[in-house]
Amino acid sequence: MSLNLIDTSPVRHKISILRDVRTNTKEFRELAGELAQILCYEALRDAPLKRYEVTSPICAADGYLLDENDYVFLPILRAGLGLVDGLLKFMPNARLGHIGLYRDETTLKPVKYYYKTPADISNKHVFILDPMLATAGSALAAIEILREQGVQQLSMICLFAAPEGVRKLEENYPDVTIYAASLDERLNENGYIVPGCGDAGDRLWGTK
């Protein structure tokens, strides 16, 4: 499976607070960033390192460098922006792109309205950021656009995932690994994740 579920006790604790309708905007943002960091730690567990010599107060030793310039964080607007601050605290020199998508009311398909990435993105490992992997429509559209740009190394970081969205991603792009904090029960008739946390964008930005 392409799903990598980070189901640890600290993650369950933080996810439970995110679900809670009483959690305010400030706390929701902070927790989303903290969870994004945890997921990114796991995603980079076996990342390649460059060896160099470092001198301690005692003697010379082998050092290891994670080249942050090799990575791009690509939030899907607008909710994906809620994961960016936490990730940039973890990897402040990572590159940042943005992709904006909306759903056409007639075709119900995602339409790109904004796309800005580093010019050399095809040589990077790109992390698509979206708190919710529900129907996977936006994620699939973003992956298709990135593939057209020649990007081969792709991962997705989300907080809540629905089985329906995970299946769609696995069927279409089995080489894209999903790092999620929670695999929830299902989607409801309106396409919301159950139990989920409601609309992550609204809760992140206090717009509802």
Q: Residues with catalytic annotation?
A: 103, 107, 199, 202
**What percentage of the chain's residues is helix, strand, coil (to nearest 5)?**
35, 30, 35
177-183 vs 193-194, strand pairing mode:
unpaired
The b-or-e profile of 67-101 (16+ CB within 10 A means b, else e) is eeebbbbbbbbebbbbbbebbbeebeebbbbbbbb
Closest Cα to residue 102, out of 128, 120, 68, 78? 78
